[in-house]
């Protein structure tokens, strides 16, 4: 082939090959983005799996509800909260026992006691919230006998 003929030639890549290249680039780009999104989804914390038992005592002055971690994942205590409906709870109404100091992790055997004048109409939920505060999950729910 002569150089002059190569430079002045009007031939180019056919449109079919151009389309195939564009589709290939799109597929590769979609695969890279998909891998990133799936990988990012795995890094988001999932709710712990734990079992809790509820022991309710109807007393004359104060009803008592003891929520005990009976097994499953150890949970960061700062990510747990008690949400009540049908009754108003203050922080002084709850007391941890079993070695939990309020900042450590909650293990099986540790419990929190909720004492309030009347829990019979209440619904109590133990809620986990991830460290960023973006996600939450109800780990356990208890409903009073009249709720």
Question: Would you write out the chain's pLDDT as a tens digit for each of its 147 residues?
Answer: 566 666 666 666 677 888 888 999 999 999 888 877 776 655 556 888 899 999 999 888 788 899 998 998 888 888 888 888 888 877 777 777 755 555 578 888 888 888 888 888 899 999 998 888 888 899 999 998 887
Q: Are 16 and 88 in the same domain?
A: no
Beta strands in 7-134 (DSSP E): 50-57, 63-72, 75-76, 80-85, 94-97, 105-106, 111-116, 123-129
Q: Are 113 and 74 in the same domain?
A: yes
Q: Are 84 and 113 in the same domain?
A: yes
Range of the domain at 12: 3-43
Cα(143)–Cα(68) distance, integer angstroms: 15
Chain centroid to CA 67: how far? 21
State the pairing for strand pair 75-76/105-106. antiparallel
């Amino acid at each position: 082939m002569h150089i002059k003929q190569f430079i002045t030639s009007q031939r180019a890549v056919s449109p079919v090959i151009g389309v195939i290249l564009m589709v290939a680039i799109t597929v590769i780009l979609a695969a890279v983005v998909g891998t990133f999104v799936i990988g990012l989804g795995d890094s988001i914390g999932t709710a712990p799996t734990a079992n809790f038992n509820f022991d309710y005592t109807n007393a004359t002055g104060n009803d008592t509800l003891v929520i005990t971690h009976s097994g499953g994942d150890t949970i960061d205590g700062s990510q747990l909260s008690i949400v009540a409906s049908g009754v108003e709870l203050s922080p002084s109404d709850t007391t941890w026992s079993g070695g939990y100091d309020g900042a450590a992790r909650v293990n099986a055997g540790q419990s929190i006691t909720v004492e309030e004048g009347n829990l019979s109409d209440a619904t109590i939920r133990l809620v986990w919230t991830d460290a960023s505060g973006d996600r939450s999950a109800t780990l356990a729910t208890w409903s009073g006998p009249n709720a």
